[in-house]
A and B are shown apart, each in its own frame.
Chain A
Amino acid sequence: MTKAITVSGLHKSFGKTHALDGLDLDVETGEVHGFLGPNGAGKSTTIRVLLGLLRADSGATQVLGRDPWADAVELHRHLAYVPGDVELWPNLTGGEAIDLLSRLRGGINKQRRDELIERFDLDPTKKGRAYSKGNRQKVAIVAALASDAELLLLDEPTAGLDPLMEVVFQDVIFEAKAAGKTVLLSSHILAQVEKLADRVSIIRLGQIVQSGTLSEMRHLTRTTIEAETERPATGLDGLPGVHDVQTDDGRVRFAVDGSRLDGAVRKLIEFGIRSLVSHPPTLEELMLRHYGDELAANGNSKSHSTGTTEADGAVR
Chain B
Amino acid sequence: MTTATVTKAPAPTGAVAGGNALAGTRTLIRFNLRRDRVRLPVWILALFLGTIATASNYKELYADPEDRANVVETMDSPAGLAMSGPRHYLDDYNFGSMLGHQMLGFMAVLVGLMSVLIITRHTRTEEETNRAELVRSTVVGRHAHLAAALSVAVLANLVLALLLAFGLSGMGIEGIDTGGSLLYGFAHAAVGIVFAAVAAVTVQITAHARGASGMALAVIGVAYVLRAAGDVGSNGALSWLSPIGWVQRTYVYVDNRWWPLLLCLVLAVLCAAAGFALSTRRDVGAGLRASRLGSPVASEALTRPFGFALRLHRGVLIGFGAGLFLMGVMYGSILGDAEDMLGDIDELQEALDRIGGANVAESFAAMVLVVITVVAVVYVVMAALRPRSEETAGRAEPLLATGLSRARWVGSHLAVAMTGGTFLLLMAGLGFGISGAASTGDGGLFLKLVGAALAYAPALWVTAGVAVVFFGWFPRASAAAWIVPVYAFVVGYLGQILQFPDWMNNLSPLGHVPQLPAADMNWTPLLLLTLIAAGLTWLGIEGFRRRDLETK
Contacts and interface: CB of A to CB of B under 8 A. Distances in A.
Interface string B513-552: 0000000000000000000000000000000001111011
A169 B132 CA distance: 33
A135 interface: no
Nearest to A108: B303
Interface in A139-192: 140, 143, 153
Interface stretch (B43-51, B290-298, B504-512): B290-298
Q: Determine the interface band of chain A, counting residues with CB < 8 A from chain B.
A: 35 or more
Given A89-B395, A92-B311, A130 B297 contact: no
Interface in B237-267: none
Contact of A96 (B297, B394, B552): B297
Interface stretch (B221-229, B317-325, B401-409): B401-409
Interface string A239-251: 0000000000000
Interface stretch (A119-127, A194-202, A259-267): A119-127
Nearest to B552: A85
A218 interface: no
Dominant secondary structure at the A interface: mixed
Interface string B271-310: 0000000000000000000011111111000110100100
B401 A51 contact: yes
Interface string A80-95: 1101011111111101
Nearest to B401: A81
A104 interface: yes
B394 A54 contact: no
A289 to B, nearest CB: 31
A85 B394 contact: yes
B188 interface: no
Interface string B438-456: 0000000000000000000
A130 B401 contact: no
B398 A90 contact: no
B291 A88 contact: no
Given A86-B398, A103-B303, A127 B403 contact: no
B218 interface: no
A48 B291 contact: no
A95 B208 contact: no
Contacts of B302: 92, 96, 99-100
A129 interface: yes
Interface residues of B, number: 36
A222 B548 CA distance: 43
A101 B405 CA distance: 13
A104 B548 CA distance: 21
A125 B308 contact: no
Contacts of B348: none
A98 B302 CA distance: 11
B296 A125 contact: yes
A91 B313 CA distance: 11
A101 B399 CA distance: 6
B397 interface: yes
29 contacts: A44-B551, A48-B549, A55-B548, A76-B400, A76-B401, A76-B402, A80-B401, A81-B398, A81-B401, A83-B401, A87-B394, A87-B395, A87-B398, A87-B552, A89-B312, A91-B312, A92-B302, A95-B296, A96-B294, A96-B302, A103-B298, A104-B403, A125-B293, A125-B294, A127-B292, A129-B207, A129-B291, A140-B398, A143-B398
Given A72-B406, A85-B552, A95-B297, 11 more contacts: A54-B548, A73-B405, A83-B394, A87-B395, A87-B552, A89-B395, A90-B207, A93-B295, A95-B296, A101-B398, A140-B398
Interface of A: 44, 48, 51, 53-55, 72-73, 76-77, 79-81, 83, 85-93, 95-101, 103-106, 124-127, 129-130, 140, 143, 153
